[in-house]
Structure 1
Amino acid sequence: MRAALIQLDGSLEAPLAERVERAAGLVRAQRGADLVVLPELWAHGAWATDSWAESAAPLEGPVLDALRHAARETGCVLHGGSLLERLADGRVFNTAVVLGPDGELLATYRKIHRFGFDAGEAAVLAAGEDVATVDALGSRLGLATCYDLRFPELFRVLVDRGAQAFVVAASWPAKRREHWSLLARARAVEDQAWVFACGQAGTQAGVELAGGSLVVDPWGRVVAEAGTGEQVLEVEVDLGEVEGVRAGFPVLRDRRLSSATD
């Protein structure tokens, strides 16, 4: 399977419509890829909280339509990063979307863990309640977003639901770049799963972004890693390796505590 992680520059200088068209164009350029991943809140700005009230919208709209068309043209499974989803009751969620090669919506995931310690995202957005997996590419993918990476219990729930790979969309800050790489590897090692972690580069709302998108195999080895600038990280992987790793080193079988949530 060929994966392409699109590490966008997180600058918000261009109008939203231009940013959407540019991102969709980069997706369309990945013809031949089976899985394409965009970062967290790439269209709205993960750190531009002051503009969220204006840019949040129902999930079905121009941004999702552009992603649908790009997925169809590319013929890929597209993790479209996450969007600011406004519900009819006024609540706003950080919602990840996964589209199939036909452009149909395969899964959504509302971010459970909101960053900010009672400020920023934690103060403005509602918390998701449900974990999400999607069957695609001959495997089961578990979905997580940025700050979620710090909470291993989420990933254990995903494993209990059959996940063999995790797709993580993020806008991780540069000042905690080492945590980003370390945590991605930890989630791969402890859950014996592939990790596809796609971040943003550049500077956004005064925050320098880490870049460093990476793909980690079920042994915790980094098989591909981006630099700090905008780039497309391409890699060939065998998702089927998970079964062999788990059978040959059956650490998950020795767990004594089950997931705390159903």
Structure 2
Amino acid sequence: MRASLIQIAVDPDEPVDARRARAGDLVRAESGHADLVILPELWPVGAFDYERFAAESEPMDGPTHRAMAQAARDAGVWLHAGSFVEARDGALFNTSLVLSPDGELAASYRKIHRFGFDKGEAVLMAAGEDLVTVALPQLTIGLGTCYDLRFPELFRGLVDAGAQAFVLPAGWPERRRAHWSLLARARAVENQAYILACGTAGTNGGVEQAGHSVVVDPWGEVLAEAGPGEEVLRAVLDPAKVAETREQFPALKDRVLGVAAPPRRGR
């Protein structure tokens, strides 16, 4: 299975419509190179450009969905279209779309863990509630977004739902890039699954982005890693390697669920 991660630069001076058109062209350019194409988190507006979230929000069937559906059809690829600011029932969500090669919506995922603590996304956006997997012809992917990477229980839930690979669009800051690399490999190793983590380049909301999109195999080996700038990262995945790794080193079978040892009192 061939995957292309499009590490697009988010420039606040570039009009959103122009970036949609450019992203569509980048997806179309992967025709013949990829079975699955991935875009990063909130690339239409910028993950840290909080003040523009409401103004750039759109419904599920809005311009980002339409532009990416057309790009998926033109390229003949499965497309994880990154995420956009979705306006729904008076609330905003950080919503990802997965589109089939005929441009149909295969799945959507609303980010569960919102970043910012008491400001930014955590205050401006509502939380999603559902774990989402998508059965591609080659393997089943589980969906997460950026800050979700810090919560291993989400990925365990996706494994229990059949995920063999995780797709994680992100707008990760450069100042915590070491965490990005470490956690991506950790999620792959502990779940014996591929992880395809696609970040943004550039600076938005005054926050320099880490870039360094990465593809990690089920044994924790880095198959491909981007640099800091705009780049298309390509990797070839072997779906059989997931089953092979889980059979050769069956750690997942040793999980102990629902058991908590009581605290031991000192003497």
TM-score by length of 2: 0.95
Please tell me the residue identity of whatever aligns with 2:209: L
* Preserved CA contact (<8 Å) 2:10 2:45: no
Q: In terms of Rg, which structure is larger?
A: 2
Question: 3-state SS of the aligned residue for 1:63?
Answer: helix
Distance in 2, Cα, partners of 1:112 & 1:6: 23
Find the residue that maps to 1:196 and give its secondary structure.
Answer: strand
1:205-230 Cα deviation digits (max 9, x unpaired) = 21000000000000001010000010
Aligned to 1:65: 66
What corresponds to 2:52 in structure 1?
A: 51
Gap runs ≥5 in structure 2: 260-267
Please say if 1:175 is aligned against 2:175: yes
How big is the shift at 1:44?
1.6
Q: Which amino acid aligns with 1:224?
A: A
Runs of 4+ in structure 1 off by over 6 angstroms are: none
Does residue 1:196 correspond to 2:188, yes or no?
Answer: no
| Deviation, structure 1 residue 125 | 0.1
Q: Equivalent residue for 2:41?
A: 40
Q: Which amino acid aligns with 1:59?
A: M
Match of 1:252 in 2: 252
Partner of 1:4: 4
Q: Report how many aligned residue pairs link the two structures.
A: 258
Task: After superposition, give the CA deviation of every residue in 1:176-230 in whole Å (9 maximum; x if it has no partner).
Answer: 0000000000000000000000000111121000000000000001010000010
1:111-153 per-residue CA deviation (whole Å, 9 max, x = no partner) reads 0000001110000000001110000032110000000000000
| Distance in 2 (alpha carbons) for counterparts of 1:258 and 1:52 | 39
Matches of 1:193 and 1:258 in 2, distance apart? 23
For residue 36 of structure 1, give the secondary structure of its aligned residue in structure 2: strand
Q: Secondary structure at the match of 1:128?
A: coil
**5+ unaligned residues in a row in structure 1: which ranges?**
none
**Aligned to 1:195, what secondary structure does the other structure show?**
strand
Matching residue of 1:79: 80
TM-score by length of 1: 0.97
Aligned pairs for 1:1-262 (under 5 A) are 1-32=1-32, 33-87=34-88, 89-257=89-257
Quote the Cα distance in structure 2 between the aligned partners of 1:250 and 1:238: 18
CA contact (8 A) 2:60 2:86 kept: yes
Give the Å deviation of 1:251.
0.3
Partners of 2:91 and 2:240 lie apart in 1 by 39
Amino acid at match of 2:71: A
Is the 2:200–2:211 Cα contact (8 Å) retained in structure 1? yes
CA distance in 2 between counterparts of 1:44 and 1:79 reads 17
Contact 1:173 1:208 in 2 (8 A): yes
Q: Say if 2:59 and 2:87, in contact at 8 Å, map to a contact too.
A: yes
